[in-house]
Amino acid sequence: MHFVFLGTSGAVPGAQRDTTSLAFVGRSEVLLVDAGGSPVQKLRAAGLDPLRLSHVLITHIHPDHAYGLPALVQNLILLGRTAPLPLFCRVEHVEALTDLLDLFALRTRKGSFPVPVHGVEPREGIEVLRTESFAVSASPNVHGNMPNLALRFEVPEQRVAVVYSSDTEPCEEVVRLARQADTLIHEATFPQRDRGRFGHHSTAAEAGQIAARAGVRRLILCHVEADYHGELEALAAEARAHFQGTVEIAEEFLPYPI
């Protein structure tokens, strides 16, 4: 079992890094977290069969996290998928994501398959779903006026957990969700000198502070805005100033074992 980044950039992609999304790969399932760019192309680049995709989780509906959803469903129709593809999102976003699919008639066109959209209530630690390999829970985070979810992926028999902050300011909800987790994947949109340049995000230093308070073993920084892709090691150093564990910069298409 592993997770893999399909994109690691902030809202604006760079030449080598696309907007942030991930896949969690279990024994028989693949869970997609957010849908930027062309998800099918990215899954293939990661060595994953798109038809193995079992669930989609959309943390929030800023375009860089959701705009690839219609392309994903269309491509899966063309690939011959017939099995349902459950989609999970904040309860406030069920209508918007349903409308996005219906804009392209993706739930009614010939060859379409069911895409049930399940709303997740904004309660800390709420269980979202269970699969053969993962128990997934969520908490709301703080991203301005945009409802959003941070996600926790646990492998129960191994007592290992990976937490993804999604887009967020530093907040207690993510600290609590990440407690006793092995790995925290936290956004680091900009360096400390430019804090606030893009609203309602975190710096690398703040990600380090959150990781230290949560007591995780490893911090992986992602969602770095394109302007700072030439400063990745400096961002890691900012996080290390506040966190004594392992700090890494997320790399696309590299499998991270769980």
pTM greater than 0.85: yes
pLDDT of residue 100: 97
Q: What is the pLDDT along the chain (258 residues), one digit of tens a residue?
A: 999 999 999 999 989 899 999 999 999 999 999 999 999 999 999 999 999 999 999 999 999 999 999 999 999 999 999 999 999 999 999 999 999 999 999 999 999 999 999 999 999 999 999 999 999 999 999 998 999 999 999 999 888 999 999 999 999 999 999 999 999 999 999 888 888 777 799 999 999 999 999 999 999 999 999 998 999 999 999 999 999 999 999 999 999 999
Dihedral in degrees, nearest 10, Cα atoms 237, 188, 87, 180: 50
Domains, the chain, with CATH or none: 2-257 (3.60.15.10)
Nearest Cα neighbor of 190 from 6, 33, 9, 7 is 9
CB within 8 Å of 23: residues ≥ 6 apart:
3, 4, 6, 30, 31, 32, 33, 43, 46, 48
